[in-house]
A = this chain, B = another copy of it.
Amino acid sequence: MEHSDSPGKLYLIPSLMGEVEPLEVLPLAVKKVLDLCDHYIVENEKTARAFIKRVFPAKNQSDLVFYVTNKFSDPLDYPSYLEPCLKGEHMGVISEAGAPGIADPGAEIVNIAYSKHIRVVPLVGPSSIFMAMMASGMNGQNFAFVGYLELDSAERKKKIRHLESLSRKTGQSQIFMETPYRNDKLFDDLMNNCQPQTRLCIAREVSLASEFIKSMAIQEWKKNKPDLEKKPSIFIIDAR
């Protein structure tokens, strides 16, 4: 079979990770899709408008219609957000930072799209998780992204030890992250709970001019504490 799709497509549009020249990290396809689409499903209208303005300044902002998914929106309304697609309009999903559907609420919209036979088209763009994995030197044949670690200190230590043990036993690299202002605390927890030989990759401010990515053993990191204060970072451990 091939699919009998609705005329309008749903484009998944990766956004920028911070202050960077847009076409340095986004392909031309993103600009073309912004040209095609006037309807956008976003987490925050203001930042989505700013993103569109940066990538495609000539776009007429007064034509744009935004459908918001955030903690104040009602998921029961989401199916109606996709009505323009069914009428033949192309629509875009824009994430707050990085790629829709990865560590963000985009997946819910995508599932509704499939149930309505709307074609979903992912676009290329920066992803700190994926680019950190590329540059980690760790096992790229088998890796897991497990999101945010537990807030509770004892639970978090337990999770770190579990992830290290999982990596040792299965060879699977374990990727995780933290709210930026807690990065220093997470770094200390990793230093205090991992084996000295376990390799740790820290990827800070991926795709920006201030990018810092390095992989070394925990015992080396102990002598070289990086500056992670309030800076978005990805952590990967490989304990093979």
Contact = CB atoms under 8 A, between A and B. Distances in A.
Interface residues of A, number: 62
Interface stretch (A43-51, A58-66, A71-79, A134-142): A134-142
Given A3-B214, A114-B215, A104 B140 contact: yes
A99 interface: yes
A9 B5 CA distance: 45
Interface string A16-30: 000000011111110
A211 interface: yes
A102 B130 contact: yes
Contacts of A68: none
Interface of A: 1-3, 12, 23-29, 99-104, 106-108, 110-111, 113-114, 120-122, 124-127, 130-147, 172, 206-207, 211-216, 224-227
Contacts of A172: 144, 146
A180 to B, nearest CB: 17
Contacts of A144: 142-145, 172
A101 B135 contact: yes
Nearest to A105: B140
Closest 6 pairs between A and B when the two form their complex, measured CB to CB: A110-B137, A144-B144, A111-B137, A122-B131, A101-B134, A122-B134
A5 B227 CA distance: 16
A174 to B, nearest CB: 9
A101 B1 contact: no
A121 B210 CA distance: 12
Given A99-B130, A143-B145, 9 more contacts: A3-B214, A12-B134, A24-B29, A100-B134, A102-B140, A110-B136, A114-B214, A120-B137, A121-B213
A135 B121 contact: yes
B120 A213 contact: yes
A142 B139 contact: no
Most B CB within 10 A of own CB, among A27, A100, A133, A225? A27
